[in-house]
Chain A
C-alpha cells in the first residue's frame, strides 16, 4: 500500500525554527516534494528531494533519507505569514502523479 504520515497540527513562535516530519511507504520512489497551502488557495511548490541529504532554499530546507522513508521540512526565522498547511508528497512512478500526506497545519504565534 501507499502511506504518507505527517503530524496534523503544529504551533511555533514567530522568529523560531520548526521542523515538520514526514514518513512514507510507497511502492516506488521518484522524489519527494513539499508544498505550502494557505487556506482557500492553491498549493505552492517549496522543495524537491530525490537524493539523500539536505536541500536549502532561503529560510526553508528539506531533508531526505530514502533508506528510512523519512523527510523533514525545516522553517527558520518564522514569520506570521508562514501560518499555513504544509503538504508532503511522493512521486511514486514514472507518470509523476503525487501521493500526498494529509498536511500539517502550522500556526505561528507572536
Chain B
C-alpha cells in the first residue's frame, strides 16, 4: 500500500493560465474524491468518481473546473483560466465502496500570482 499520491506538490502560475493536477489513488479503491482546502478551513467537497464514472459535482464547482478518471485508476483535475480565488490546497482521497474511511494524499498547493 503506497498511499494516495498527488502531483505536483506545489504549483505557482499566473492568473488566466490553465493548470492540471494528477492523483493516483490506492490501487484497489473504487472511489476517488477531490476536495479543496483553504487556510484555517476544513476540506470542501468538489467531485467524486466511482470507478470511471463521475457521480457528483459540487454546485460550487464552476465550469472552469473539470475532472476525469478515464480508466478508473488515476484522476486529473483541470482548472482553466485560473483566478486569484482558486489559490488553495487541492486534496485527493480514495476509499473502497461503502462507508469506509477516505485516505488522503498530501495535496497540491496552488498559488495564483
Contacts and interface: CB of A to CB of B under 8 A. Distances in A.
Nearest to B55: A95
A63 interface: no
Interface residues of A, number: 24
A70 interface: no
A48 B40 contact: no
Nearest to B31: A96
Contacts, number: 60
A99 B58 CA distance: 11
Interface string A69-102: 0000000000000000001010100011111111
B104 interface: yes
Interface stretch (B11-19, B41-49, B60-68, B72-80): B41-49
B101 A100 contact: no
B25 interface: no
Interface in B76-109: 91, 95, 98-107
B42 A95 contact: no
Interface of B: 4, 31, 33, 35, 40-45, 48, 50, 55-56, 91, 95, 98-107
